[in-house]
Amino acid sequence: MMRTIENTVKYIRSKNAGPFWLTIDAFCNSVEDTEKVAAAFEREMIGLEPHDVIKVGEIEVEIVPVDHDAYGAAALLIRTPDHYIAYTGD
pLDDT single digits (tens) 40-62: 777 777 788 999 999 999 999 99
Buried residues in 10-39 as b, exposed as e (16+ CB within 10 A): eeeeeeeeeeeeeeeebebeeeebeeebee
The proportion of the chain whose per-residue pLDDT surpasses 70, expressed as a percent, equals: 86
pLDDT single digits (tens) 12-25: 777 766 666 667 78
Give the three-state DSSP class for 34: helix
HEC string of 71-84 equals CCCEEEEEECCCCE
- As a whole number of angstroms, the distance between CA 49 and CA 71 comes to 13
Instruction: Check: pTM over 0.75? Answer yes or no.
Output: no
8 A C-beta contact, residue 51 and residue 63? yes
